[in-house]
Chain A
Amino acid sequence: MNKILASGWTKAVVFLMCLVPALLLGSGWYKEALGPNPVENITHTTGDWTIRFLLITLSVTPLRKLLHLPMLIRFRRMLGLFAFFYGCLHLTTYLWLDQFFDWAGIWKDIYKRPYITAGFTAWILLVPLALTSTSWAIRKLGGKRWQLLHRLIYFSALAGVIHYYWLVKSDIRLPLMYGAILLVLMLYRAIIWFRPKARAGGSF
């Protein structure tokens, strides 16, 4: 399995799979098949995939340890960048198709509407992570500092879940599900963190 994961082909296939939601939206747009309210459809689809990619990215570390698949690490940066990619599409949809670049209205929204504030926060927190995703940046920052900076993803995912929870009208099943998954992924980290260091060093 680690061999398959190490292959360049696998990475290419995963890359293409990650693009599928965007390609489907693109073809839906082209064929005018996004339903009566295309803006809502695009907003929901890109928002959903942003949260999903954040959670998938956050599950790389637990999975590689629990399944003994260290090679999974090869995909983490790409998955994280896809979270940023869908986040950018989501934000662009809001700025362009929802608000038509009415900057006064947008600014009022960010400052006045808690769910927009939370969503915007989630996106802003991802910007430094995307900018420092290169190997050069890791070297420049040093492993420790880079890792510390990239813990911002925890807060981005939390802000994303809160953003979703605050915007739904009444059926809160999906935001609760994403929240529960995030909780499990964070609990895993908390357990590792609080385990006596001596033991943690050995088996993990």
Chain B
Amino acid sequence: MSNLRYSQVTPKSEYLNRRRFLAGGAAAVGALVLPVSTYAGAKLSGVTKSPLSTTEPATPFEAITGYNNYYEFGTDKGDPAKNAQNFKTSPWTLTIEGNVAKPKTLDLDGIMKIAPLEERIYRHRCVERWSIVVPWIGFSLSALLQQVEPNSKAKYVAFQSYYDPKQMPEGKHAGIQLPYLEGLRIDEAMHPLAMLVVGLYGEVLPNQNGAPLRLAVPWKYGFKSIKSIVKIKLVEKEPPTAWNLANAHEYGFYSNVNPEVDHPRWSQAKERRLPGFATRPTLKFNGYGDQVAGLYTGMDLKKYY
């Protein structure tokens, strides 16, 4: 088994681009040797601002944390904020395994030290036709994947959420199979925009937003950005994903934001920016086409929706 070299899976322009902002974040490394508080609401220190941020105004904290799709805690948008209050995120164990040279098991402190923390203000487009702008705190998923050294059989990355029916009694009404599963192709996962998130608005991630660790994949519909991750596995075949298992006709593996491909039950041409009434045209790849369109060269995005 030969190790997959990082340069083989990432276009050089993005590779260099990532280096540039990782260097920017290096100043924050000093702060990371201090003990990190990891309860919801605690301020995160040593966070640098990322050049990958949009200049659009961020959605207010109350809207981001009061309007959530997190079916383990209920299917109403207001349920997670109520029902996730006592969710235990500490201790937490994240395992990274599969086709890697150096599998890893990390606790919360280990997770916070994977890479310097950055604030990245990303657009977030839900498949339900609403969108928000979120100042996430975290780092590129690639920083973690590089540390475990994926080999040549690592073609996809599978993610699994935490699921405990005792702590998440509403989960049995979710109507989808739990634990929640998600997946990315390795080149998507290695893309610098794909982000592991530990906080928002300068604070440790609130429970209802997927504490303590979630993804933010801004060019895909929100449900791809899996919450409360406990397992990451590098695999050879396209892994099963929760919404695709529930309804393959409506939710594809890729689920890139695409105004040209309708959801079977509604058009995806427009979105409503929350909070409020105003709608705006939805942008292909949620406006991140310049950075990510190259990942899908030659692919029929109507077929691979």
Contact = CB atoms under 8 A, between A and B. Distances in A.
A113 interface: yes
Nearest to A96: B277
B175 A100 contact: no
B202 interface: no
Contacts, number: 56
A142 interface: no
Contact of B277 (A39, A109, A113, A167): A39
B66 interface: yes
A37 B279 contact: no
Question: Would you call the interface of chain A mostly helix, strand, loop, or mixed?
Answer: helix
Question: Would you call the interface of chain B mostly helix, strand, loop, or mixed?
Answer: loop
B249 interface: no
B: interface residue count bin: 20 to 34
Contacts of B78: 35
B176 to A, nearest CB: 5
B272 A170 contact: no
B265 interface: yes
Interface in A36-54: 36-40
Contacts of B59: 36
Contact of A37 (B246, B267, B274): B274
Given A35-B66, A37-B67, A37-B275, A170 B265 contact: no
Interface in A166-185: 166-167, 169-173
Interface of B: 59, 62-63, 66-67, 71, 75, 77-78, 128, 130, 132, 173-176, 246-247, 265-267, 272, 274-277, 279
Given A36-B274, A170-B71, 10 more contacts: A35-B67, A35-B275, A36-B63, A37-B272, A37-B274, A37-B275, A115-B265, A169-B75, A169-B128, A170-B176
